[in-house]
Amino acid sequence: MATALPAMDVSPSPTPGLLQVVTDLLLLDYRRCQRRAYLNRFGDESEREPERDFLIKLRQESQRHIQTVLQTEYPQYRQPQAPREDYQAQTEETLALMAQGAEVIYGGRLSQAFGEVAATGEKILLLGAPPLLVKQTGHSRWGDWQYRPLSIHLGRRPKPEYKILAAFYAHLLSHNQGQTPAGADLILRQGNRFRVDLREWLPRFYDALSDYLTTLCEQREPEVFISRQRCHLCHWQSHCYGLAQSQKHLSLVPGVTPSRYESLQKAGIETIAQLAYGAPDPLADLLGPALARQLQRQALALVEKRPFRRQHTRSFPLPQAPVELYFDIEAEPERNLDYLLGVLVVEGESHRFYGFLAENPEQEGEIWQTFLALMAQYPTAPIFHFSEYEAETLKRLAKLYPSPGLDLRRLLGRCWDLHQIVTTQAICPVENYSLKSLANWLGFQWRDGAASGDQSVCWYDQWLTTQNYVYLERIVQYNEDDCRATWRLKQWLESFLSSEGA
Ligand code: SF4
């Protein structure tokens, strides 16, 4: 069994006299967020949050994926034996294996002294850990063979950052073997292969490296820009979010993307209030009238802490029924598993929660049938949920576990996606349109402040490993709170849409 590779971030420099060791992980961070790479190097460690459970889980999954590829496709691999901390010994061993002509090298390291900073004379070292080096015919300084890098990733698509890393490894290879490899390969989730065109990606890698070194040499802190997708798992999130709030930063306005942010800056708009109360015409010229108006109204909602109807909509009746159902799912995408189907049944003053929980993945079909039995008890009750995922899951489970007598079209016809409704009908004073943000704004609090969809997935994993019921209880409580938050949102929407639409 191969040794699992730890995260390779050896910055700050492990060798006296070096300005900076540029590793693959630092470069990856830089590609994802320049500010994160900067803070990882120069940030105040006391502001850094512990790594999220979900990231640890992702890393473990990635290691399992690598092991599977190794065992099934490259069982003959060889591996440097020096400890990971001793990168010099590791690079020497890697080069020795390459000189011997080893067919496949796993966990090798390659380095290159990469010039120095003119102003200070400090040296720069590039250090990469290509997951696999695969021998192929060609030329190198050792003879009629050479190596190409092969990276293994969990993603489904060949993302640009994977290609930049592959080009980084190809660059290190060309320096070490005296020949640029003809290509670099990626193995993605489910074993799909992808060839990286180095003619396109080597120049991009040099640009990224040059930008990165400039940022580090100048020690210039990149501006904060909050993006929910990018920041939500980052260990600098609290720090950056606090800064963005203190600056009333425009990235806190939903709809302000990096390119729109640039346009706003060109128009001299720096804060949320300036966007809210600025003259509309220059903005409309830059962004188009519809988008300019939308962003201004969103900013106004935040500054004045009040919601608006979207201009173009008329009254929007939400169904009201003696019995209403509020539905939320906990799912594990990695296993393609829906392990909890939660339903809050609201009947007048009575609120009853049902959490149909698969204690092991094989029980998914069972909980689906129990869920359907509950739906059949209330055949006309509307089903409210907060994302497309719930309706999509009904389709998936109906296909996977055929249920005699199920009228899927009818069931789907009872579903109301409140996320879709709120984002098309209202502009709310929130920084994003997640259920958590909306419900918090309405005064709803989750009982467990640490709970989230990602964390629920980690708890489920921990339950499967430890069989400790505490994890299941936390998942069920979180799911119940999600259902209650959905109910709270529906209450508000109902009154807001009817009063404003009248
Ligand atoms: S929280 Fe966001 S802006 Fe800050 S470092 Fe992380 S990814 Fe970058």
Strands 323-332 and 383-385 turn out to be: parallel
> 247-305 is classed in which CATH architecture?
Orthogonal Bundle (1.10)
Contact 112, 125 (CB under 8 A): yes
Q: How far is the C-alpha of 360 from the C-alpha of 175, rounded, in Å?
A: 50
Where, residue-wise, is CATH 3.30.420.10 in the chain?
Answer: 323-501
Q: Ligand 1 centre from 36 Cα, in Å?
A: 5
Closest listed residue to residue 29, CA positions, set 16, 17, 42: 42
Where, residue-wise, is CATH 1.10.150.20 in the chain?
Answer: 247-305
Q: How far is the C-alpha of 230 from the C-alpha of 222, rounded, in Å?
A: 15
Closest listed residue to residue 276, CA positions, set 293, 259, 261: 293
pLDDT of residue 312: 59
- Contact partners, residue 472, CB within 8 Å, separation at least 6: 357, 359, 459, 463
Which stretches of 68-159 are assigned E, i.e. beta strand?
Answer: 104-106, 110-116, 123-128, 132-140, 143-152
- Amino acid identity of residue 115, one-letter, is G
Q: Which atom of ligand 1 is nearest to the CA of 225?
A: 3
Q: Ligand 1 centre from 237 Cα, in Å?
A: 6
- Contact partners, residue 366, CB within 8 Å, separation at least 6: 358
Q: Tens digit of pLDDT per residue, the chain (502 long)?
A: 333 333 333 344 444 554 578 899 888 888 889 999 889 888 999 999 998 899 998 889 899 999 999 999 999 999 999 998 899 999 999 999 999 999 999 999 999 988 776 666 778 899 999 999 999 999 999 999 999 999 999 888 999 999 999 999 999 999 999 999 988 999 998 889 999 999 999 999 999 998 888 877 777 889 999 998 899 899 999 999 999 999 999 999 999 999 999 999 988 999 999 999 988 888 888 899 999 999 999 999 999 999 999 865 566 778 999 999 999 999 998 789 999 999 999 999 999 999 999 999 999 999 999 999 999 999 999 999 999 999 999 999 999 998 888 999 999 999 999 999 999 999 999 999 999 999 999 999 999 988 999 999 999 999 999 999 999 999 999 999 999 999 999 999 999 988 754 3
Q: Ligand 1 centre from 223 Cα, in Å?
A: 10
Residue 131's alpha-carbon distances to 141, 166, 178, 221, 417, in angstroms, are 22, 10, 20, 31, 43
Q: How far is the C-alpha of 209 from the C-alpha of 107, rounded, in Å?
A: 23
Residue 381's alpha-carbon distances to 322, 329, 340, 377, in angstroms, are 8, 18, 21, 9
Residues with CB under 6 A from ligand 1: 33, 35-36, 39, 224-225, 230-231, 234, 236-237, 240
CATH of domain 18-218: 3.90.320
- The highest-level CATH class for domain 323-501 is alpha beta
Where, residue-wise, is CATH 3.90.320 in the chain?
Answer: 18-218
Q: How does 352-377 read in b/e, with b if 16+ C-beta sit within 10 Å?
A: ebbbbbbeeeeebeebbeebbeebee
Q: Which atom of ligand 1 is nearest to the CA of 234?
A: 6
Nearest 5°: CA angle at 127, between 170 and 55? 95
Q: How far is the C-alpha of 290 from the C-alpha of 267, rounded, in Å?
A: 17
- Contact partners, residue 24, CB within 8 Å, separation at least 6: 8, 127, 128, 129, 165, 168, 169
Q: Ligand 1 centre from 226 Cα, in Å?
A: 7
- Amino acid identity of residue 421, one-letter, is I
Q: Which atom of ligand 1 is nearest to the CA of 36?
A: 5
Given ligand 1 and candidates 44, 233, 237, 252, which is best to mutate, with the most ligand atoms within 8 Å of its CB?
Answer: 237
Q: Which atom of ligand 1 is nearest to the CA of 241?
A: 1
Considering only CA atoms, which residue is closest to atom 4 of ligand 1? 240
- Amino acid identity of residue 134, one-letter, is V
Closest listed residue to residue 255, CA positions, set 304, 294, 285: 294
Enter the DSSP assignment of 36: H
Which stretches of 282-425 are assigned E, i.e. beta strand?
Answer: 308-309, 323-332, 337-347, 350-357, 383-385, 415-417
Q: Ligand 1 centre from 450 Cα, in Å?
A: 20
Q: Ligand 1 centre from 42 Cα, in Å?
A: 14
Backbone angles phi and psi of 326, in degrees to 5:
-120, 120
Q: How far is the C-alpha of 305 from the C-alpha of 283, rounded, in Å?
A: 22
Q: What is the DSSP string of 164-203?
A: HHHHHHHHHHHHHHSS--S-EEEE-GGG-EEEE-HHHHHH
Nearest 5°: CA angle at 228, between 225 and 230? 75
Given ligand 1 and candidates 29, 33, 241, which is best to mutate, with the most ligand atoms within 8 Å of its CB?
Answer: 33
Q: How far is the C-alpha of 493 from the C-alpha of 220, rounded, in Å?
A: 45
Q: Which two tokens stand for residue 128?
A: 């990469």
Q: Ligand 1 centre from 30 Cα, in Å?
A: 11
Backbone angles phi and psi of 212, in degrees to 5:
-60, -45
Q: Which atom of ligand 1 is nearest to the CA of 224?
A: 3
Q: How far is the C-alpha of 34 from the C-alpha of 27, rounded, in Å?
A: 9
Closest listed residue to residue 446, CA positions, set 405, 399, 395, 483: 483
Q: How far is the C-alpha of 339 from the C-alpha of 353, rounded, in Å?
A: 16
Given ligand 1 and candidates 31, 231, 232, 233, which is best to mutate, with the most ligand atoms within 8 Å of its CB?
Answer: 231
Sheet holding 104-106, edge to edge: 104-106, 132-140, 143-152, 184-187, 193-196
pLDDT of residue 454: 93
Considering only CA atoms, which residue is closest to atom 2 of ligand 1? 231
Enter the DSSP assignment of 445: -
Closest listed residue to residue 111, CA positions, set 29, 188, 7, 15: 15
